């Protein structure tokens, strides 16, 4: 399996494990899928980097997309879903869940 997809799938499971929504009340995919398979890949595409490179540069990227960063406008899209996904991804990377997987 592609390393990017494998990491993103593990991130999705991490979010689910930590209580984030899997489905909306209408049955559509929710936060877990959105953060792991929409928002994080969007940042990787925008930055032209792979998921492992995102992991290695997560602090810089979070700062760049957070308030006052050069990409804050993009980070604020959809009620700050992009920056929130990046912050949850950083928590995932720093967690035991990431190192055990």
Q: How confident is the model at residue 24 (pLDDT cuts 50, 70, 90)?
A: confident
- Cα 1 to its chain centre, rounded Å, is 19
Q: How confident is the model at residue 67 (pLDDT cuts 50, 70, 90)?
A: very high
Question: Minimal CA–CA distance to 11: which of 87, 92, 101?
Answer: 92
Q: Is the pLDDT of residue 1 over 90?
A: no
List the chain domain ranges: 3-100
Q: What local confidence, expressed as pLDDT, does residue 25 receive?
A: 86
pTM for the complete prediction?
0.92
Distance CA 35, CA 10 (A): 12
- Quote the percentage of the chain above a pLDDT of 90: 83
Mean of pLDDT over the chain: 93
Question: Minimal CA–CA distance to 86: which of 75, 97, 96?
Answer: 75
- What's the mean pLDDT in 8-34? 93
Distance CA 94, CA 46 (A): 23
Q: What local confidence, expressed as pLDDT, does residue 101 receive?
A: 56
């Amino acid at each position: 399996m592609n390393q990017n997809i494998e990491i993103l799938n593990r991130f999705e499971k991490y979010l689910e494990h930590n209580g984030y929504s899997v489905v909306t009340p209408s049955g559509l995919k929710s936060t877990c899928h959105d953060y792991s398979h929409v928002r994080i890949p969007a940042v990787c595409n925008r930055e032209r980097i792979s998921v492992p490179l995102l992991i290695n540069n997560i602090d810089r990227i979070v700062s760049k997309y957070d308030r006052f960063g050069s990409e804050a406008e993009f980070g604020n899209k959809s009620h700050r879903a992009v920056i929130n996904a990046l912050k949850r991804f950083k928590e995932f990377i720093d967690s035991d869940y990431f190192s055990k997987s």
